[in-house]
Chains A and B, each alone.
Chain A
Amino acid sequence: MEAFAKIDILERVDGSAVVEAIKAGRLHNFPGGVHPPEAKLLSNQAPIASMPVPKTLYIPLKQHSGMQGSLIVAVGDRVKKGQALTHSSHPFAVPVHASTSGIITDITEHPSAHASGLPETTIVLKPDGAEDWHIMPPFENYRTVEPITLIERICDAGISGLGGAGFPTHIKTQHNHDVECLIINGIECEPYISSDDRIMREHAWQIKQGIDILRYLVNPKAIIIAVESNKPEAFDALKTACGSDASITMASIPTKYPAGGEKQLIQALTGHEVPRSGLPMDIGCMMFNVGTCFAIADAIIYGKALVQRVVTLTGEALKAPQNVWALLGTPMADLLAFAQYQPAKQKRHKVIMGGPMMGFTVTNDNVPVVKITNCVLVPAADELPDIDDEKPCIRCGYCTDVCPAGLLPQQLYWYSKAKDFAKAEEYALADCIECGACAYVCPSEIPLVQYYRQAKAEIKAQLDEQQKSEKAKQRFEQRQARLEAEKHAREEKHRKAAEARKAAMENNGGDAKAKIAAALARAKAKKQQAAKANDAGTPDNNDESSE
């Protein structure tokens, strides 16, 4: 597989050829895909509404994929709207901002906007209602500013991909390659969701501003705006905004789920596949969501940090389904109240964050809106069935037909279920985009994606474990070496001390001998003197003893 990936990297997309093909109406396709009921009419009829400021905002430190920044505020601090609450010290960390002005009442663990609902560090903000903005100096004439300054601003404004995955935008724009195709993703293929649809209809001009900034930053050969064919109004709005710009090409993509997936859309537009374990950049493509373009314009031209996003409130259990501008940190409960939630229409309380294909059930009504929250779906009892009736796989193969990544979902299912992770990896489990198309068509109602996610998490845990044990081994060996060296040093010291003692003793011993010899010599000499004296006739014994 590695060999294939390398060949793919060499096959870069040719921007002008792609544009020509699109203009001639020649689009490519990606394998598989499904056509679930779209159900977008529920929410896409009314303009995006503004919500009243909630009583409390819960702003998690981490709202995107990557690392969280470090806190730069404390409990009791008064913050302005758009003021940074964390500082990004790591390239993959983007800061979070106060969504409105107010006082930080607590920094605590709060249920996360994640399928697990496990608590995460969250800043609790009590709004003061003043909506007092902290504006960063706007770059109205951004073409005179160094691109790196603009990229820094994009990071400081806390912008991460608003399409769903939440990849930090400044990382994408810091590229070293030539960009052939800058693709603006207005597909929004998942049923029920219409937040991108509404933002394209209502804010096409600001999206165009964002695209212009991106064009200045990455200098692409071609710019393509892709909108799914079921959103003609959005297509027309963007066409009006961008029509006079010859370098921008509009592409209407046939409606099919998941056409909005990054790799799928690139394949549909260019006919090239993004290499596995590679990035779109490897084949010269770069993709941004329309909402991200809007936020980039906000950050550069208006100096505003990312503090709100469009959220689709939909489902038949809501009396007033619609799109709203929700401040980041708005709890689910406020959204439900605003859309007039009717509990009686549900068998059990069930709120889904995200769409019906890739979303998850939120565990707590205080779970906040985060940067990647594009939809809140509250289905009526008969609208979406509860699936808890998994039946054995009958090997029908429908899942293989619909897999947009060209994988073998059935094999992945067997291996994931049997916890044969090596085999699952061999069948490219890592390339699964978790779109849920396989589970959607499965006649046995097997929650396939659940199995894949579990297997992926398990594989990641094993990898982490392996790294940790490798580190532990190193530390253990270093410690052993250190102890050995210390022991050696101690023994050496003792040996030296012993030698020194011995040497000293020997020295002393030598002296003693010499002394004894000298004393003997003296005694001998005196004896001789005495003998002489005796010979002279005067005994000198008394003198000697008295001396």
Chain B
Amino acid sequence: MSLFAFALIILGLLALIFGAILGYSAIKFKVESDPLVDQIDAMLPQTQCGQCGYPGCKPYAEAIANGDEINKCPPGGEATIKKLADLMGVEPKPLDSAHGVEDVKKVAYIREAECIGCTKCIQACPVDAIIGAAKQMHTVIVDECTGCDLCVAPCPVDCIDMLPVKETPANFKWHLGKNVSGTVGNIDIKQVS
């Protein structure tokens, strides 16, 4: 009987100790937000365009963490889907065309002569990439524009164009085979036989 009581006391003590450790670490190492959501959020392109049906990249990241499909992000395209599939341990799927198609990178451009200074696009821009004031001309900070398209619809005079990002020697991607003049092989490797 005393042995049984002894065992109970020991086990009880152990339970208390471990409980205390766990309780302490739960407070000490508390994680503010779900780390998975942050990881997913870091993979999304942060255009905040809402094409996925959620009001920004973070909400979509939360939705994916809760089991939503990973193929709803057209700006991220195939590369993002691949990364998300790796992270979530699921098979990559083709982009869901209901949410849009993968397009070349674009930036907004305001035809300044036509701008009436209504500030509607400024309010729509999720990353504050448009500067201007009421009844003053607005313009886009090209380096900050994510190409989300959200400023185009609110413009009452349709003076915003989405233009493809210009290719320069700095961001040239060495297309195999062809160069701009159309000749084959712009780097003639193995030219000595």
Which chain A positions have C-beta within 8 A of B171?
A: 457, 461, 464
B126 in contact with A118 (CB, 8 Å) = no
- Closest A residue, CB atoms, query B167: A118
We find that the number of chain B residues with CB closer than 8 angstroms to chain A is 39
When distances are taken between beta carbons in the complex, the residues of chain B under 8 Å from A388 are 177, 184-185
Known: A454-B176, A457-B173, A476-B46. A387 touches B181 (CB 8 A): no
User: Does chain A have a CB within 8 A of B180?
Assistant: yes
Question: By the criterion CB–CB under 8 Å, are B189 and A449 in contact?
Answer: yes
Q: Are B167 and A352 in contact (CB under 8 A)?
A: no
Chain B residues closer than 8 Å to A363, beta-carbon distance: 179-181, 183, 186
Given contacts A363-B183, A384-B191, 20 further A-B contacts (CB under 8 A): A114-B172, A117-B180, A357-B189, A359-B187, A360-B186, A361-B179, A361-B183, A361-B186, A361-B187, A384-B192, A385-B190, A386-B188, A387-B191, A388-B184, A436-B190, A449-B187, A450-B189, A454-B174, A476-B127, A478-B128
Determine whether B66 belongs to the interface, using a CB cutoff of 8 Å to chain A.
no
Q: Assess the A458–B189 pair: CB atoms within 8 A.
A: no
Complex contact A450–B128 (CB within 8 A) = no
Assembly CA distance A379 to B192 (angstroms) = 10
A469 in the interface, Cβ–Cβ < 8 Å? Answer: yes
Contact string against B for A residues 458-472, beta-carbon threshold 8 Å, 1 for contact and 0 otherwise: 100110110011111
Q: CA–CA, A360 to B187, complex, Å?
A: 4
Within B135-193, the residues touching A (CB, 8 Å) are 144, 146, 167-169, 171-177, 179-181, 183-193
Tell me the B residues contacting A by CB distance below 8 Å: 41, 44-48, 56-57, 79, 126-129, 144, 146, 167-169, 171-177, 179-181, 183-193
| Residues from chain B with Cβ under 8 Å of A39 in the complex | 192
List chain B residues, Cβ under 8 A from A465: 45
CB pair A473–B176 under 8 Å, yes or no, is no
C-alpha gap A479/B128 in the complex (Å): 7
Tell me if A116 and B167 are in contact (CB < 8 A).
yes
Of A196-204, A284-292, A437-445, the one contacting chain B is: A437-445
Of B48, B171, B172, B176, most buried by chain A (CB within 10 Å of CB) is: B172
Cβ-neighbour of B168 out of A118, A454, A478 (below 8 A): A118
**Given known A-B contacts A112-B169, A475-B127, A117 and B188 have beta carbons under 8 A apart:** no
- Return the contact of B45 from the options A364, A384, A386, A469 (Cβ within 8 A): A469
Q: Are B184 and A118 in contact (CB under 8 A)?
A: no
Report, nearest first, the 5 A-B pairs whose CB atoms are least far apart: A356-B191, A469-B46, A384-B191, A116-B172, A439-B189
Contact surface of A with B, Cβ cutoff 8 Å? 36-37, 39, 112, 114-118, 120, 191, 348, 350, 352, 356-357, 359-361, 363-364, 377, 379, 384-388, 436, 439-440, 442, 445, 447-451, 453-454, 457-458, 461-462, 464-465, 468-473, 475-476, 478-479
Structural contact, B190 and A440, CB atoms closer than 8 A: yes
Whether the pair B190, A445 counts as a contact (CB closer than 8 A) is yes
Min Cβ gap B27→A in Å is 27
A312 to B117, CA, bound (A): 57
A387 in contact with B190 (CB, 8 Å):
yes
B180 touches A118 (CB 8 A): yes
Q: Which chain B residues border A114 with CB–CB below 8 Å?
A: 169, 172
B144 engages A472 (CB within 8 Å): yes
8 A-B contact pairs sorted by A residue (CB < 8 Å): A357-B191, A387-B185, A387-B191, A440-B190, A447-B187, A449-B189, A470-B46, A475-B128
Closest to B172 in A: A116
- The answer to whether B173 and A461 have CB atoms under 8 Å apart is yes
Rounded to whole angstroms, the CA-CA distance of A120 and B44 in the bound complex is 32
B177 / chain A contacts, CB cutoff of 8 Å: 388
Interfacial chain B residues near A470, Cβ < 8 Å: 46
Chain A's closest residue to B75 (CB) is A469
**Which B residue sits closest to A379, measured CB to CB?**
B191
Residue of A361, A377, A439 contacting most chain B CB atoms (<10 Å): A361
Which of chain B's residues have a CB closer than 8 A to the CB of A377? 191
Decide if B186 touches A115 in the complex (CB within 8 Å). Answer: yes
Output the nearest chain B residue to A472 by Cβ-Cβ distance. Answer: B46
**Distance in angstroms between the alpha carbons of A258 and B56 in the assembled complex:** 51
Interchain CB contact under 8 A, A120 and B127: no
Report if A450-B176 is in contact (Cβ < 8 Å); known contacts: A118-B169, A472-B48, A475-B144.
Answer: yes
Contacts of B181 in A (CB 8 A): 117, 363-364
Residues from chain B with Cβ under 8 Å of A439 in the complex: 189-190
Interface centre among B47, B181, B186, B188 (most CB of A within 10 A): B188
Q: A457-B172, A469-B44, A472-B144 are in contact. Are A115 and B191 (CB under 8 A)?
A: no
Task: Give the residue of A116, A348, A468, A473 whose beta carbon is less than 8 angstroms from that of B179.
Answer: A116
Question: Which of A115, A348, A361, A386 is B172 in contact with, Cβ under 8 Å?
Answer: A115
Tell me the complex Cα distance, A469–B61, Å: 14
Bound CA–CA A443/B101 (angstroms)? 41
A293 CB to nearest chain B CB (Å) = 28
B47 near A472 with CB under 8 A, answer yes
A382 to B173, CA, bound (A): 30
